[in-house]
Amino acid sequence: MIRSNAESSLDRFSRVETYGAAAGDRRIVTEARGGAAEQRAIIGATETIVSNLPGVRDVTPWWAQMLTYGAVALAIVGIVALLWMTGLGQFLRTLLASVGGFIPRRQRQDADLAAKVMDSASAEGIREYIAARRAADPMFDIAYRKAHDERKRQDQGTEGTGGA
């Protein structure tokens, strides 16, 4: 479209130059020649664009690729978090443990000790079980200390009433 418009304008400038020469007006001839030269430059530029166009490659900038990877990673993390929060994650974890036998080592050790505590022939008692749980899980230890301290306060409060 640009080339066809430029060729049409070049043809008009040629006619104007012919008209200006026939009229004897040097200014019209000079302006027509200048306009024709500009149209030939435009036609040459369009030829350069057309010849270079097949070599042009669509390249995605590095930062756009990084944003794409980041968005995909965030979406995956969001989906996993959503599944976990809705309880489906815990269900899948339980299903894997029951079907595939994937039970973390810490839970297997805890279950083994609990089974030994329940066995009356075993030397392990509830104190060993609680000590093992507290050593294995810092959050359990904190919760246990809080519950133990609260129970002590309650016991001290009932001793002071006299029970008469």
Identify the sign of the CA torsion 81, 83, 89, 95. Answer: negative
Residues sharing a CB contact under 8 Å with residue 40, sequence separation 6 or more, in sequence order: 10
Residue 35 corresponds to which amino acid?
A: G
Residue 162 has pLDDT above 90, yes or no: no
Q: What pLDDT digit, counting tens, does each position of 69-123 carry?
A: 999 999 999 998 888 888 887 787 788 778 767 777 777 778 888 888 887 776 7
- CA angle, corner 118, sides to 114 and 124, nearest 5? 70
Indicate left, alpha or beta for 101 from its phi (over 0: left) and psi (-120 to 50: alpha).
Answer: left
pLDDT of residue 68: 95
Between 92 and 141, name the one with better pLDDT. 141
112 secondary structure, DSSP code: H
pLDDT of residue 16: 93
Q: What pLDDT digit, counting tens, does each position of 9-59 carry?
A: 999 999 999 999 999 999 999 999 999 999 999 999 999 999 998 988 888
pLDDT of residue 85: 86
pLDDT of residue 140: 86
pLDDT of residue 126: 80
120 secondary structure, DSSP code: T
pLDDT of residue 94: 81
Between 123 and 5, name the one with better pLDDT. 5
Residue 39 corresponds to which amino acid?
A: Q
Residue 164 has pLDDT above 70, yes or no: no
